[in-house]
């Protein structure tokens, strides 16, 4: 099953009266950039500005309904879907729900809850959750800025093919940050 992540890659095409929203796709294994791009192109969701089609969740998309609702600004309904999916163990839903908490969509910003959800998904091996934990440490969102810890989380995520984590490592290295001598990431779960 592919899980769809909420990654803000929206391109609004006002002249056409539709919004095309691309979501990055988690593909089991380590996808190449070309495979990621092909997945994004294959999962574009066209949304009429008058109506929002809500796709059914299926074996190809475990969180499509929640994402369509989220894109339509129906945060409470999206949050409900993600909460139910997360409670059933869906790591993609945990990441999306954490993202909503991190940005205050459907309620107030809640860094502690976002971190809890990301850690829960990371404990199940979810690379996007690992990336998000690193992001929170990199920017001091609900935690003290800790670039060594951020680097470790990004490294753990990037080893599993997460392109966002690879970019974050590049950002840290551009700032002169070297890999820490030891990453005790597993003990942080």
5 and 86 both lie in a single domain:
yes
183 and 123 both lie in a single domain:
yes
8 and 86 both lie in a single domain:
yes
Q: What is the pLDDT of residues 24-76, one digit of tens each?
A: 333 334 444 554 444 444 433 333 333 444 555 555 676 788 888 888 999 99
Rounded to whole angstroms, how far apart are CA atoms 189 and 186?
A: 6
Measured N-to-C along each axis, helices 75-87 and 91-103 cross at an angle, to the nearest 10 degrees, of 140
Model pLDDT, residue 30: 43
100 domain-assigned: no
Q: What is the pTM of this model?
A: 0.69
59 and 130 both lie in a single domain:
no
Tally of domains in the chain? 2
142 and 180 both lie in a single domain:
yes
105 domain-assigned: no
From first CA to last CA, the distance across the chain in angstroms is 25
115 and 87 both lie in a single domain:
no
Model pLDDT, residue 40: 42
What pairing do the DSSP bridges indicate for beta strands 9-13 and 18-22? antiparallel
Structural domain for 173, as ranges: 110-189
168 and 117 both lie in a single domain:
yes
Q: Cβ contacts of residue 35 below 8 Å, gap of 6+?
A: 27
Q: What is the pLDDT of residues 83-105, one digit of tens each?
A: 999 999 999 999 999 999 999 99
pLDDT: which is higher, 27 or 148: 148
Q: What is the pLDDT of residues 150-173, one digit of tens each?
A: 999 999 999 999 999 999 999 999
Helices (H), the chain: 33-42, 64-71, 75-87, 91-103, 111-123, 127-139, 147-159, 163-174
63 and 125 both lie in a single domain:
no
For residue 132, pLDDT beyond 70: yes
């Amino acid at each position: 099953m592919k899980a769809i992540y909420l990654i803000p890659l929206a391109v609004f095409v006002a002249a056409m009266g539709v919004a095309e929203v691309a979501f990055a796709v988690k593909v089991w294994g380590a996808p190449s950039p070309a495979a990621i791009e092909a997945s994004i192109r294959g999962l574009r969701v066209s949304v009429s500005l008058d109506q929002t089609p809500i796709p059914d969740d299926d074996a190809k998309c475990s969180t499509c309904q929640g994402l369509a609702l989220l894109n339509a600004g129906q945060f409470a309904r999206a949050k409900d879907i993600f909460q139910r999916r997360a409670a059933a163990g869906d790591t993609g839903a945990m990441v999306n729900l954490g993202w909503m908490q991190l940005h205050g969509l459907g309620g107030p910003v809640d860094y502690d809850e976002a971190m809890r959800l990301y850690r829960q998904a990371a404990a199940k091996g979810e690379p996007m959750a690992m990336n998000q934990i690193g992001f929170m440490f990199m920017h001091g969102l609900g935690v003290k800025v800790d670039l060594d810890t951020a680097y470790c989380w990004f490294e753990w995520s990037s080893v599993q093919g997460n392109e966002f984590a690879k970019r974050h490592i590049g950002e840290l290295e551009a700032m002169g940050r070297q890999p820490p001598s030891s990453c005790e990431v597993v003990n942080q779960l």
